[in-house]
Structure 1
Amino acid sequence: MTNIVILVGNLGNDPAVRSTDGGTDIATFSLGTSRPKRDSEGKTYKDASGFTAKDTEWHRITCFNGLGRIIAQHATKGMLVSVRGRLHYTRWTDREGIERFGSEVIADEVQFLSRSRQGGAEGAADTQPDLDDDVPF
């Protein structure tokens, strides 16, 4: 049995980095993936501007140790990346005693498919796709 996830999308935020007491480095970020919106008949439709409307889903990505350090150093909000990893589900009880559930992708590999806005070649910022800043993650 295999648990493999492959996602291609844009970083919704700059990676957050922390270290455990045991010295494990952990980088986390949100990844937005999009697909065309469909009407009740299954057809894609255009928005008021004439562009194909899209549904965006947000995924929580976690990277450990060396991969986490690389992501923290080089990845920035808006970058297009490919993530290969596995789904991980968690269950916990919050401070109010309510049982909560969550999921994340534990990344084994992250490939940069675009350049950082801060570095790289001149004009790279002009090629970055826009993200919906009003979408919570």
Structure 2
Amino acid sequence: MNNVQLIGRIAQDLELRKTQNDRAWLSFSLALNEYSNGEQHTTFIDCVAWQRNAEILAQYAHKGALIGLEGRLQRRNYTDRNGQNRSIVEVIVNHVELLSSKGQSDSQETTNTASSNDWP
């Protein structure tokens, strides 16, 4: 079983991108606050959204927005700009729920959701 459920805040501005085949996608970090021994710690989780999930996030979410997501973990290998081989673990988003959206205060909630089973 490979299932992840997270609630956190978007850590940077979102930029919707398109593949050569015109598939929408975006990558972002999700900031999760954890409390241990009375202290707050923030963990940043790399996430990738495709197609409708990416479009909804780009249109309705922003840096600092609170979202809930469900997805799966994926390990990906790549070569960085310096030619070094790297590995990253990221969440591939298959469902997203906007808990605060553009123009809303964090105390308000919204029911905008999206699901997608068309990730690569």
After TM superposition, is the score higher than 0.5? yes
Root mean square deviation of aligned Cα: 1.7
Partner of 2:83 in structure 1?
97
State the Cα distance separating 1:103 from its structure 2 match. Answer: 1.4
Contact 1:34 1:54 in 2 (8 A): yes
- Where structure 2 has 5 or more consecutive residues not aligned to the other structure, the ranges are 109-120
For the residues of structure 1 that align with 2:67 and 2:44, how far apart are their CA atoms? 14
For residue 86 of structure 2, give the secondary structure of its aligned residue in structure 1: strand
For residue 83 of structure 2, give the secondary structure of its aligned residue in structure 1: coil
State the Cα distance separating 1:95 from its structure 2 match. Answer: 4.0
For residue 16 of structure 1, give the secondary structure of its aligned residue in structure 2: coil
Partner of 2:64 in structure 1?
78
State the Cα distance separating 1:94 from its structure 2 match. Answer: 2.8
Relative to its length, the structure with more strand (as a share) is 2
For the residues of structure 1 that align with 2:83 and 2:20, how far apart are their CA atoms? 26
Aligned length: 108
Identify the match of residue 100 of structure 2 among 94, 107, 114: 114
Partner of 2:28 in structure 1?
29
For residue 3 of structure 1, give the secondary structure of its aligned residue in structure 2: coil
Contact 1:7 1:83 in 2 (8 A): yes
For residue 96 of structure 1, give the secondary structure of its aligned residue in structure 2: coil
For residue 72 of structure 1, give the secondary structure of its aligned residue in structure 2: helix
For the residues of structure 1 that align with 2:59 and 2:93, how far apart are their CA atoms? 16
Cα 1:71/1:111, change in 2 over 3 Å: same
User: Partner letter of residue 27 of structure 2?
Assistant: T
For the residues of structure 2 that align with 1:75 and 1:111, how far apart are their CA atoms? 10
How is 1:1-137 mapped onto 2 (pairs within 5 angstroms)?
A: 2-37=1-36, 44-45=37-38, 53-116=39-102, 119-120=103-104, 124=105, 127=107
Partner of 1:132 in structure 2?
none
For the residues of structure 2 that align with 1:23 and 1:83, how far apart are their CA atoms? 24
Cα 1:78/1:94, change in 2 over 3 Å: closer
- Where structure 1 has 5 or more consecutive residues not aligned to the other structure, the ranges are 38-43, 46-52, 129-137
Contact 1:14 1:75 in 2 (8 A): no
TM-score w.r.t. structure 2 length? 0.81
Structure 1: 4+ residue segments shifted above 6 A: none
For the residues of structure 2 that align with 1:12 and 1:95, how far apart are their CA atoms? 23
